[in-house]
Amino acid sequence: MALGVSPDAIIYDPASHKGVGFDGDGNMAVAFDPRTGTISARVKLPGSPEAPASDGKGRLYVNLSNTSEIAVIDTRIWAVEGHWPIGGGCDDPTPLAIDPVHERLFVGCRSGVLVVLDATKHALITSLPIGKGADSVAYDASSNLIFVSCNDGTLTIIKAGSPSRYDVVQNLLTTPAARTLAVDPQGPRVFLPAADLGPLLPKSGDAPARPAIIPSTFRILTVGH
């Protein structure tokens, strides 16, 4: 099953019961049946997709990293419903999360801000400072907390006081390799995989130059109360 030139993200859409892969180089979303692996639809996007989020009701939102926009896919007809600028000082949007109850999108931007958007009105709610190089964002509905992990070794924790008020409550130092995260569904606890970094490896083909991983240093950081 081919998901495009360079698939970079994948999500399950509960409304259509389809998996969806996002091809960053091909500007494409590819819907498929996760049971059979057959392709259901290919949706051309108006920019390079980075991270998706589903509202569970038939809409998929996705960051367009090269245009600093959000695109919306209607998964009932597999078509782009629209796209709009993120704003709020967002450049290079990378991670994306959603509060489906209050219809809020949380966009992590590598320019050092988290932007909160009204998903239905396409309106900017607020823009908050975070670390540099945002790579993962997650929303925990049980605590109304948003977690953003960044390449600079920080974890920003933001409290949703209401659908219109968001405040940074902590900037926690982690380690530069701890740039991805997962939230424990049993409570407000965050897991961050990490490893110690070595010398910069040279660029190889299409792969950019990256630091080497020092063997036997992989670990999981746990953040909680």
Kindly state whether residues 113 and 173 are assigned to the same domain: yes
| Cβ pair 51, 95 in contact under 8 A | yes
pLDDT digits (tens, 9 = 90+) for 80-129: 999 999 999 999 999 999 999 999 999 999 999 999 999 999 999 999 99
Give the count of domains, the chain: 2
User: Is residue 216 situated within a structural domain?
Assistant: no
In a shared domain, residues 91 and 126: yes
Is 78 in the same domain as 91? no
Contacts of 165 (CB under 8 A, 6+ apart): 126
Does 113 share its domain with 171?
yes
107 contacts 115 by C-beta, under 8 angstroms: yes
Distances (CA, A) of 156 to 62, 138, 180, 196, 215: 22, 11, 12, 21, 28
Output the domain CATH number for residue 58. 2.40.10.480
Please indicate, yes or no, whether residues 95 and 73 belong to a single structural domain of this protein: no
Q: Do 66 and 33 have their domain in common?
A: yes
Task: Pull the structure tokens for residue 161.
Answer: 């006081």
- Asked if residue 80 and residue 97 are part of one domain, the reply reads no
**Do 108 and 172 fall within a single domain?**
yes
Planar angle of CA 174, 139, 208, nearest 5 degrees: 55
Reduced to 3 states, what is the DSSP secondary structure of residue 110?
coil
pLDDT category of residue 1 using cuts at 50, 70 and 90? low
Is residue 70 one of the residues assigned to a domain? yes
**Residue 36 has which token pair?**
């059979």
CA atoms of 120 and 102, how far apart (whole Å): 10
The reply to whether 23 and 99 lie within a common domain is no
| Residue 107: inside a domain | yes
54 within domain boundaries: yes
Same domain, 77 and 103: no
Q: Are 42 and 96 contained in the same domain? A: no
Q: What are 156-188's pLDDT values in tens digits? A: 999 999 999 999 999 999 998 899 999 998 878
**Residues spanned by the domain of 59:** 1-85
**Is residue 32 situated within a structural domain?**
yes
Q: In the predicted model, is pLDDT for residue 37 greater than 80? A: yes
pLDDT tens column, 194-216: 999 888 888 777 667 788 889 99
In this predicted structure, the answer to whether residue 76 has a pLDDT above a threshold of 90 is: yes
Report the side by side order of strands in the sheet with 165-173.
134-140, 145-150, 154-162, 165-173
Q: Is the pTM of this model over 0.85?
A: yes
End-to-end, the C-alpha distance of the chain in Å comes to: 43
pLDDT of residue 74 exceeding 80, the answer is yes
Averaged pLDDT score across all residues of the chain: 93
Q: Output the pLDDT for position 6.
A: 77
